[in-house]
């Protein structure tokens, strides 16, 4: 069976994993999902594989690092020998593949690195899973809503069966990885599930991403860079809601299926900044704290996805944007040194951030 779009009231028998290999578990989303699963299902063994890149930290899972069912392995998913060793040694029956290069801005200048990690890394994991196919019962591949390309119509919500049309190197690398996953489902009957998610925010996210970057800059009294005119729209989902979505997909998801993970709530990038200005009580300084910079080479205007399939498994969004934004802001302000020196992460993309307004850049 090939990957199919989900059906609204689809049901499945609950799956009970015994040993999970979670890649990218020291990163933002992966660590939150991993901590959630370890704390909720202490009888399930969890193996974290992460190379500890610049945007990852062992701090992200410190609350479970001494848990009897948790193991951390430092290493690269592109290392075939290591991946095969881990899957074989720990008798892994479930792979949850979060590890990826994910910052769109960086992909415009380092696209080969994105291909190496996102495509070759995924392929390496698939080969290892195929080599241990008699013990692998789930392979959950974490993708992104950006593989669909932008949603042009106000009423258009992308569904899992829609064609993929990525517009930037990051999204293209994730789409390529998806096709590898689909091919291993078709050719080798690997028990795969694919997820495609909206933007995620919350505590512990490396501050190169929009929300923690703006929080960090406003806390320092510095202006925030907005691409273009700030009108591009995004849907944001709080990270704990995402962790619960993966819990549901892991237990109830149907093999061979794709699930969108997202929110109906949309807001412009400028709107996000205005919400944060309100939380900092800096609305009166908007003019001096907003700095418009040159846009990306191509910037999708909006993504809007249909989540009926995931909701049919029993998942619901719980944390609304205003509430999650307040929680996130308070977390970062209480831990200003969590990521060490982050000054290099607080600029717009190097090709964009000249320190001048858009009008000045055009001259």
Show which residues are catalytic: 145-146, 170
Write out the two tokens for 80: 């075939």
Pairing of strands 266-268, 233-238: antiparallel
Query: Reduced to 3 states, what is the DSSP secondary structure of residue 122?
Result: helix
Cα 237 to Cα 85: distance, rounded to the nearest angstrom: 35
What's the longest Cα–Cα distance across the chain? 63
Under 8 Å between Cβ of 166 and 118: no
By C-alpha distance, which of 231, 359, 351 is closest to 299? 231
CB 310 within 8 A of CB 259: yes
The CA distances from residue 153 to 76, 156, 281, in Å, are: 40, 5, 35
Contact 146, 300 (CB under 8 A): yes
Question: Which of left, alpha, beta for 164 (phi over 0: left; psi -120 to 50: alpha)?
Answer: beta
Find all residues with CB under 8 Å of 166, minimum gap 6, and list them.
146, 147, 148, 149, 172, 174, 175
Rounded-to-integer distance, Cα 70 and Cα 136, Å: 19
According to DSSP, the residues that pair with 257 across neighbouring strands are: 4
Q: Which helix (H) or strand (E) holds 248?
A: helix 239-252
Rg value, the chain, Cα:
20
Contact indicator for 165, 218 with CB cutoff of 8 Å? no
User: What are the DSSP calls for 135-163, one per residue?
Assistant: T--EEEEEEEGGGG----STT--B-TTSP
């Amino acid at each position: 069976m090939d990957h199919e779009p989900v059906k609204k009231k689809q049901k499945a028998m609950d799956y009970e994993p015994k040993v999970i290999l979670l890649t990218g578990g020291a990163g933002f989303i992966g660590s939150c999902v991993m901590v959630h699963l370890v704390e909720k299902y202490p009888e399930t063994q969890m193996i974290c594989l992460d190379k500890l890149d610049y945007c990852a930290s062992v701090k992200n899972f410190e609350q479970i690092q001494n848990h009897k069912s948790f193991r951390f392995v430092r290493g690269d998913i592109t290392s075939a020998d290591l991946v095969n060793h881990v899957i074989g040694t720990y008798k892994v029956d479930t792979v949850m593949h979060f590890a990826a290069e994910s910052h769109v801005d960086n992909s415009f200048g380092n696209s080969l690195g994105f291909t190496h990690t996102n495509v070759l890394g995924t392929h390496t994991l698939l080969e290892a899973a195929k080599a241990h196919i008699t013990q692998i019962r789930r392979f959950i591949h974490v993708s992104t809503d950006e593989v669909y390309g932008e949603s042009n119509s106000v009423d258009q919500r992308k569904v899992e069966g829609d064609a993929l049309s990525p517009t930037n190197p990051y999204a293209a690398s994730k789409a390529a990885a998806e096709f590898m996953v689909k091919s291993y489902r078709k050719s080798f009957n690997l028990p795969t599930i694919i997820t495609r998610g909206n933007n995620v925010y919350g505590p512990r996210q490396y501050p190169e991403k929009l929300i923690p970057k703006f929080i960090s800059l406003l806390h320092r009294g510095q202006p925030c860079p907005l691409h273009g005119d700030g009108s591009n729209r995004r849907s944001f989902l709080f990270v704990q809601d995402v962790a619960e979505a993966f819990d549901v997909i892991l237990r109830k998801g149907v093999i061979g299926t794709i699930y969108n993970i997202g929110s109906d709530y949309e807001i412009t990038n400028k709107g996000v900044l205005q919400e944060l200005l309100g939380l900092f009580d800096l609305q009166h300084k908007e003019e001096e704290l907003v700095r418009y910079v040159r846009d990306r080479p191509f910037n999708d205007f909006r993504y809007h996805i249909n989540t009926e399939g995931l909701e049919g498994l029993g998942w619901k969004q719980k944390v609304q944007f205003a509430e999650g934004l307040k929680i996130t802001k308070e977390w970062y302000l209480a831990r200003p040194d969590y990521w060490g020196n982050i000054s290099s992460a607080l600029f717009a993309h190097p090709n964009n951030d000249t320190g001048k307004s858009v009008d000045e850049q055009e001259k």
